[in-house]
Structure 1
Amino acid sequence: MPIISSGSSIASQEEIPSTSNENGSTQKTFVTTEDLARFKIEMMEAFSAELSKFRTELTQQLCNEIAKFFNNRQ
C-alpha cells in the first residue's frame, strides 16, 4: 500500500478515499496536514495570480470604454 507523505508524523495523516488505478485495482492514499497546508498555499498563490491578471484586464477594458465615451462626446 503506497503512502504519499512529506511529513514524518503518522498522527498527522488522514486517509482520503480509495482511487482506482488504470488496471482497476484500488489503493489507499494518505496525505499529511503538511501536504494540505502546502497545497492550500499553492492554490492561494495561483488564485491570487489569476485574480491579478483578471483585475488588470478589467481595468484596461474599463479605461478603453471611458476613452471611447469621451471621444464620442467631442
Structure 2
Amino acid sequence: MPERRDHAGIAALSLCEAMLLALRDNAVLPEREIEGILRDAADTHANAAKPDADQQMHRAVAQLINGILGKFVPLQGR
C-alpha cells in the first residue's frame, strides 16, 4: 500500500502538470519556457550525483517529468 507521502507527491505532480498546461493554454508562458522548466527539472534528477542520493528515485522522477514533457513537445520536435 502506498505511503501517505506517495499520495501527496502524486497530487503535487498532477497539480503542477495542470498548472503548466493552463499557463500554456492561456498564453501566460510560451511553450518553449515550459519545456525549459521541465527539461531543467528532469536534468536535475537525472544528474543527481551525490553519493548518498537515492539514484533509483531520481531516475524515476526524471522519467515522470520527461513523460509530462511529452505532452508539451510535439513528437517531431524530439
By the TM > 0.5 criterion, same fold?
Answer: no
Higher helix share: 2
TM-score, normalised with respect to structure 2 = 0.34
TM-score, normalised with respect to structure 1 = 0.36
Higher strand share: 1
Q: Computing the radius of gyration over CA atoms, which structure comes out larger, 1 or 2?
A: 1
Structure having greater relative contact order (Cα 8 Å, sep ≥ 6): 2
